[in-house]
Structure 1
């Protein structure tokens, strides 16, 4: 099992749907108490209403329905329509609530165009395995489902480029280095998360677990460390140092510095440069 999955998913079912031109595929408003559903659009287009919002999905798109989320589905009849479906429960993805493949603020419809053939092949294998009707002890459907979910997870979170497939440890290490090199810039959590191909909430969770603070708190601490260095090794004014470490407002810098060190910047400099009593 991938390290991404802390708890194995249990397959509820998988099937391939095919509709000819003029035939509608419609599922009225409904929800599932504890089951997550994933759909892969192989051909045609369909309209989805998920949690009160409308989405249009076309060939190459994934659609994900979380538990307890109301949704409605209707295909377009102007052309053939085909999609693959799998439902499961008991999944636990690292950093996400139970049975979630996405953060709550992420879009439930997204393209997997860079990984279409792999995902389609796994869906077809999963559907074939389920249709064979093997006993639970003999089926490989559970493993196929895990492989499929792994590919969906990769496609969603790591599709921005060939360097995007990062382990959790690599991602937070890269995020830390990014902050260390750019602490003086007006960083946002989204900017940092985009750099390592994670959602802001997922990165924050991983970073907090690894370093005991959020990425933005870490950036502030880097600014304070740099300011202390400037104060004790240069003759720059407090105003100059504030700008060098990323603060347009001198007052904001002074307040944050005093909160972090217990001293105002000017007082800190005097205390640090005062000769010791032994000299």
Structure 2
């Protein structure tokens, strides 16, 4: 594997950008010595595939990558990159502190996003190569120049992707808690258990419950119940489904359990709620 890597020292306060800070830049070409072990960073990684093909691998999935893919990976996300043996992958990576991307996919937490930017290759490579050149030459104020080019790159990406993401300040909420919350939001209508959620994030179920409650002021199971009740309210108001059908589609194991849980949280039975609110 052939790698050129550069580290940036902290800028003085008067030169510190108001938001993001470029921590490192790496230009990599895959070789037989590459060890694609799952890992995570406490910064956001942005990498652009300049040539070849490969995969982005996470705990749960493997997504194909090809030339001109731009990949954004939020902090603390377990991932690695693997190259196709036939078409060796080459890419440039930026490590960015004090920045987390919020992707516009509803309320669900998204650990990463991939964009195909073939039509903008020249512009993106120009900015990335300029940053690399500044780091190689180390002329006066080169670090500050790199930070400004990073700002330009991020703004351009925001523009050319149709504003599919927004910049968010970094969060102290553990990635595992965010992932657990996203899993609950995606699967609340299924038979979800605390044990299953804990297995997804590789935490002990008691530790997960404690950390999740500290992060979101609600336990994982109570959050699951809230989502199911909210979903059932919409079905009660907007459909003619039977109470049994609504219970099943909202993730409840039985109509009796649904009725008990609904009355406890809402104060009235599902039937009474429908009579009052159905359009």
State the TM-score, normalized to the length of structure 1: 0.47
Larger Rg: 1
TM-score, normalised on structure 2? 0.47
